[in-house]
């Protein structure tokens, strides 16, 4: 499983989405698409962690399996899946960012995370260094947003928060700088996918295969729901004269 870092062109605006990706799902791709659009990014890198220090080893699929699923899910020309932390030998986000900035000093990195992670980031190793290293974009998630905006990290860096309307310039901001972005919620979650996979006492090949199958089912279901929602939204779009138009349903 290659984890070679390809040097991007000078000044490339790159979003970094880290996590266990156990497994990757449509929700990760949903955030990545939103980041590309709202933050005016050139790329989004998924940093598949060998082992999250805050998560148990039990139930964690093999790194190669998680990377493979992530590549199947991330079918987007601007999303790159990497296991670069395995190459760098880092397990903490602050250390990973430090090494990445040293390796690619010309890139404009932005750390991407959900509102649930903003709530608990104060438990992360050297978490203040994350905000001091790169701009941070936090994406709203149902039931987490209010607690996230009242979290220790949000209060600590309250003066560094920029308006959502200025998020397109976040990659150019000097850290600490962060923005809270409200996006359409995604129904996908890694927890739901794992719950549909048969349980095993220990991590093994059979468990990984079950996880892959469960991920594929959930991803396909989520894509179907997303497509249906888009069609329904399109039917309710207002016409140029301001009146709502109802498009004919497909036969």
- Express each pLDDT in 2-14 by its tens digit: 444 556 667 899 9
C-alpha 114/C-alpha 121 separation (Å) is 11
If one counts the domains in the chain, the total is: 1
Please tell me the predicted confidence (pLDDT) of residue 52: 79
pLDDT (average), residues 177-203 = 64
Domain assignment present for 94:
yes
Please tell me the predicted confidence (pLDDT) of residue 200: 42
* Helix, strand, or coil (residue 114): strand
pLDDT, greater one: 157 or 205: 157
Q: In this structure, what CATH number is given to the domain that contains residue 68?
A: 3.40.50.620
End-to-end CA distance of the chain: 46
Domain assignment present for 102:
yes
Residue-wise pLDDT tens digits, 51-103: 877 777 888 999 999 999 999 999 999 999 999 999 999 999 999 999 999 99
Scanning the chain, the segments in alpha helix (DSSP H) are: 26-38, 63-73, 84-88, 93-103, 115-120, 127-133, 145-149, 152-156, 190-196, 205-235
Please tell me the predicted confidence (pLDDT) of residue 207: 54
Task: Mark 214-223 as b/e (b = at least 16 C-beta within 10 Å).
Answer: bbeebbeebe
Domain assignment present for 210:
no
Domain assignment present for 72:
yes
Cβ contact 26:223 at 8 Å: yes
pLDDT (average), residues 108-135 = 97
Domain assignment present for 218:
no
Cβ contact 136:111 at 8 Å: yes
Residue-wise pLDDT tens digits, 130-142: 999 999 999 999 8
Domain assignment present for 213:
no
- Minimal CA–CA distance to 27: which of 165, 171, 195, 142? 142
Rg (CA), the chain: 19
Domain assignment present for 200:
no
Domain assignment present for 214:
no
Full residue range of the structural domain in which residue 156 is found: 13-187
């Amino acid at each position: 499983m290659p984890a070679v870092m390809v040097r991007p062109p000078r000044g490339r605006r790159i979003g970094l989405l880290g996590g266990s990706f156990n497994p990757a799902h449509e929700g990760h791709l949903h955030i990545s698409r939103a980041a590309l659009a709202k933050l005016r990014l050139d790329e989004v890198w998924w940093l598949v962690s060998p082992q999250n220090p805050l998560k148990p080893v039990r139930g964690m699929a093999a790194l190669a399996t998680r990377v493979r699923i992530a590549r199947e899910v991330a079918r987007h020309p601007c999303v790159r899946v990497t296991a670069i932390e395995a190459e760098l030998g880092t397990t903490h986000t602050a250390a990973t960012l430090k090494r990445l900035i040293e390796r690619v000093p010309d890139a404009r990195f932005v750390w991407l995370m959900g509102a649930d992670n903003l709530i608990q980031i104060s438990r992360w190793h050297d978490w203040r260094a994350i905000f001091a290293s790169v701009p941070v974009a936090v994406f709203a998630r149902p039931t987490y947003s209010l607690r996230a905006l009242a979290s220790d990290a949000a209060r600590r860096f309250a003066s560094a928060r920029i308006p959502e309307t200025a998020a397109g310039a976040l990659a150019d901001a000097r850290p600490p700088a962060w923005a809270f972005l409200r996006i359409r919620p995604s129904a996908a979650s890694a927890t739901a996918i794992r719950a549909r996979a048969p349980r095993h006492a220990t991590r093994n090949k059979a468990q990984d295969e079950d996880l892959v199958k469960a991920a594929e089912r959930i991803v396909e279901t989520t894509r179907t729901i997303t497509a249906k929602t888009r069609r329904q939204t399109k039917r309710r779009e207002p016409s140029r004269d301001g009146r709502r138009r109802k498009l004919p349903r497909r036969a």
